[in-house]
Amino acid sequence: MAYDAVVVGAGHNGLAAAIHLAARGWSVAVAERNAEAGGAVKTRELTLPGFRHDLYAMNLSMFAGSPFFATYRDRLIADGLGFITAEDCFATVFPDGTWLGVSKNIEATTEHIARFSARDAEAWRRMVAAFAASAPHVFGLLGAPMPSWQAANVVWRAWRAKGVGWLRDTAWMLRATPRAFLDRYFESDQLKTMVAAWGMHLDFAPDVAGGALFPYAESMGNQSFGMSIGAGGADSVIRAMVKTLQSLGGVLLTNADVAGIRVVAGRAVGATLGDGRSLDARRAVIANLHPRVLFGRLLLPQGKWGRQARRIAALRPGPGTMMIHLALSGLPAWEAGVRLQSFLYVHLAPSLAAMTRAYREAQAGLLPAEPVLVVGQPTVVDPGRAPAGRHILWVQVRVLPAVIRGDAAGTIAARDWDQAKEPYADRVLDIIERYAPGLRGKVLGRAVLSPCDLERDNPCLVDGDSLGGSHHLDQFFWRRPAVGWSRYRMPVQALYMVGASTWPGAGTGAASGFLLGKLLAGAS
């Protein structure tokens, strides 16, 4: 069967590219190796019947605020997409029994900040006010191909609107460490810690250069717009995207494992499935894959383009991640206060020093004695994800080594994740129990996914890295996935790549797929 474009991988970026091309009149087929579309955006009854857990991504704020959603909003909503926005977004609990959180109501946020520092409460107000004027320029840059005249135009418009001083400060922030950025604006350790925890969602410990942007954008975005999740589960996004694609004439093939990309005379001309079927591509083959999968499994580097392919495939993974999913009889009884039960995320990242220590231990191949924990409580805003009166807990463990060389705490002897994951999950629950006594007595079911399990489920989560590759400065902006290859075109003619391994990186915003779709449709 022949199509204008063949997309390999039905993650949200691959689907976004397919939808936009189909809307522009292209015939499109998407091949997905699994029985379901979604990539790292999946929801399953993983523990017990009736308990719907988001396997990996839960926070869909980036999708809700994306240019792709703005363009296809009416179609996607008609096809079943719904968001639920939390008013109480995220909080951090401290060992002394205090906590600090960000609610969409700025009065509630600043009142709480003022308990630690009145000066910081005013500084927070000023930063939020400035964000409203800065956001179009910052997100305009993140939503432009890199490099491009569009990106240059964003910078030019920012200079016209905001002046040289704003450009200088923004350029500094893009290179700054989280600690340097937070020290510049705030004085209380609690506020700095709360914001810096967002850096650990990627691979930015407090003293890693380039790590200030994500904590700034997430904190200000949550304060300004709230935090959004998919109604009923993150897969509501994927189900709506699939329905929209099919309504536009696009084809989704599931259980369709691609065995190879076919190249004739230096041009990608289609994909061969494991069962021998061929999907011919007249205009483009789009890989929604990690470059190691593209150039390590489906298309081995060779000939004149092989050296460039090897450079692209050398993209360095970020640290590993563990996911722990719990079915509960009731919400955690947070010792710091019942108010914490209303927050969508609760970070257990007690200090900048603790985050730095966990990061260094993981980088050394050690199981961190006390990792950073992101405790998601989706049923506080979306109770339908669990049976009546029950709840689920979504726990992301950051950061972990892909290969275990030892245990920083000296209590886990296993060096293989299949043997180490359950004892390590016990350590994680022990940490949560310190902040929420009695949690273990509420656990009805538990599922633990180690870094190895992540890669088994999705080969693009290389080494259990949920980020598609480290986001450090040597692999970001025009350097992602490699210098000279940041605009989605690959060394083989008519072959393109999208996904977290490409600009603008990880997240649920569908940015790379939409950007490529516009680049290709504009050239048609």
Q: What is the pLDDT of residues 419-443, one digit of tens each?
A: 999 999 999 999 999 999 999 999 9
**Confidence label for 1 from pLDDT (cuts 50, 70 and 90):** confident
CATH 3.50.50.60 spans which residues of the chain? Answer: 2-39+64-82+233-315+469-523
9: left (phi over 0), alpha (psi -120 to 50) or beta: left
**Confidence label for 273 from pLDDT (cuts 50, 70 and 90):** very high
- Mean pLDDT, range 207-215, rounded to an integer: 98
- Mean pLDDT, range 377-388, rounded to an integer: 98
- Mean pLDDT, range 192-201, rounded to an integer: 98
- Mean pLDDT, range 54-78, rounded to an integer: 97
**Confidence label for 522 from pLDDT (cuts 50, 70 and 90):** confident
Which tens digit of pLDDT belongs to each residue from 330-361? 999 999 999 999 999 999 999 999 999 999 99
CA angle 78/80/81 to nearest 5° reads 100
Q: Is the pLDDT of residue 395 over 60?
A: yes
- Mean pLDDT, range 170-194, rounded to an integer: 98
Which tens digit of pLDDT belongs to each residue from 459-474? 999 999 999 999 999 9
Place of tokens 């929801």: 43
- Mean pLDDT, range 237-253, rounded to an integer: 98
Average pLDDT, the chain: 97
Contact 341, 381 (CB under 8 A): no
Cβ count near 156 (within 10 Å) = 11
- pLDDT at residue 97 in the model: 96
CATH topology of domain 2-39+64-82+233-315+469-523: FAD/NAD(P)-binding domain (3.50.50)
Which tens digit of pLDDT belongs to each residue from 69-104? 999 999 999 999 999 999 999 999 999 999 999 999
- Mean pLDDT, range 251-269, rounded to an integer: 97
Q: What DSSP line would sit under 485-515, residue for residue?
A: -TTSB-SSBTEEEESTTSTT-SSSS-HHHHH
Contact 294, 313 (CB under 8 A): yes
- Mean pLDDT, range 46-64, rounded to an integer: 97
Q: Is the pLDDT of residue 292 over 90?
A: yes
% of the chain exceeding 90 in pLDDT:
99
- Mean pLDDT, range 159-164, rounded to an integer: 95
CA angle 128/141/179 to nearest 5° reads 50
Q: Is the pLDDT of residue 524 over 80?
A: no
- Mean pLDDT, range 190-199, rounded to an integer: 98
Q: Is the pLDDT of residue 523 over 90?
A: no
The Cα–Cα gap between 15 and 400 comes to 30
| pTM of the entire predicted model | 0.96
- pLDDT at residue 412 in the model: 98
